[in-house]
Amino acid sequence: MSKTSTSPTAGSDTSLPFRYRVSGMDCARDAAEIERAAQSAGVAPKAVKVSAATHIMTLWVSESQLPEIELGVAKTGYGFERIAPGDDGPAASQTQKNPEYLRALWIVIFLNVGYGIVEMIAGFFAGSQALKADALDFVGDGLITFLGVLAIGWSLAWRARSAMIQGVFLALLGFGVLANTVWRLLNQTIPDAALMGMFGLIALVINVIAVLPLLPHRKGDANVRAVWLFSRNDAIGNAAVIVAAGLVAWLGHGWPDLVVAVGIAGLFLHSAWAIIRDARNDLRAAI
């Protein structure tokens, strides 16, 4: 049985935190979105935590608040299933047991990881750091989804250990892209703007396609909003690559490519750090 963590903001009528399995997450940004939704439903900032590592939401609130909070977070479009007290959360939710949902997740994994590899190769041919950084985002999302599928039924401790390894691996990839970007900055080269723009546009299309298999498994009227939240941040990165390609072609200089690369890699490293941080906290609570 896992240890129970406490929050400094928990009310005196709350002896145990309430936990929920969250389905449909693919990155740390999703965790932050859910936390904001809970806070909008009246939860204090320190009384809600969504783990980017194990995809578990923990609430330090009174039980009477739960119905309102559940309604608030349901608007995000993600799936929430309450975990019984004393359970360390290994059992899969009904959604996760659905063969069609698992098939949709595998499609998302292959699209993200597959195109991430393609875009990374394109980045080398085009001499574009922005394409390489965007490729990391694809690979990272795919690996996070893969861990979610692989770890269905695992205990909280093993999910946290796996997430820790993944977070460290993603961080190393991110630092590699940043280091290569610094080298490019010291050895000015102009990337192929046409290749940058073409693969940035394809990335935008792949992001939309990757959302479609999951759409039937969203519930209620939050479907459209869920699709928007799922693809919005990645689409911003893809659009940034396309804009950078246009600026490179217009200005005849490589700095727009480097600026976008640093921005995307920075966000990528932030997500990797969130996974490592949450995995450490989850592991501490589970042992």
Helices and strands counted in the chain (H then E): 9, 4
Identify the pLDDT of residue 116: 92
Per-residue pLDDT, 228: 46
What is the biggest distance separating any 2 CA atoms in the chain, rounded to whole angstroms?
Answer: 64
Q: What span, in angstroms and rounded, lies between the C-alpha atoms of 98 and 210?
A: 18
Q: Is residue 147 within 8 Å of residue 25, measured between CB atoms?
A: no
Burial 13-24 (b: 16+ CB within 10 A, else e): ebeebbbbbbbb
pLDDT at 195: 92
State the Cα–Cα distance between residues 100 and 218, nearest whole angstrom: 12
Q: Give pLDDT tens digits along the chain (287 positions).
A: 344 444 444 444 444 689 898 876 766 677 888 999 999 998 998 899 998 878 889 999 998 899 999 999 988 877 788 887 766 554 555 555 667 777 888 888 899 999 999 999 999 999 898 999 899 888 888 887 787 777 666 777 777 888 788 788 888 888 888 888 888 777 778 899 999 999 999 998 998 888 777 766 655 434 444 444 555 667 778 888 999 999 999 988 888 999 998 888 888 888 788 888 888 887 777 66
What lies within 8 Å, CB to CB, of 186 at 6+ separation is: none
Tell me phi and psi for residue 244, to 5 degrees: -60, -40
Element (DSSP H or E) covering residue 35: helix 28-40
Q: Rounded CA gap, 196 and 219, in Å?
A: 37
Q: Which positions ≥6 away from 236 have C-beta within 8 Å?
A: none
For the chain, the distance separating the N- and C-terminal CA atoms, rounded to the nearest angstrom, is 8
**Global pTM exceeds 0.75:** no
Instruction: State the Cα–Cα distance between residues 230 and 227, nearest whole angstrom.
Output: 5
Distance between CA 80 and CA 72 in Å, rounded?
A: 11
* Lookup: tokens for 122: 């394109």
| E strand map for the chain | 18-23, 48-50, 56-59, 79-83
Nearest CA to 128 out of 175, 179, 189, 204 is that of: 189
Closest CA to 246 of 262, 233, 260: 260
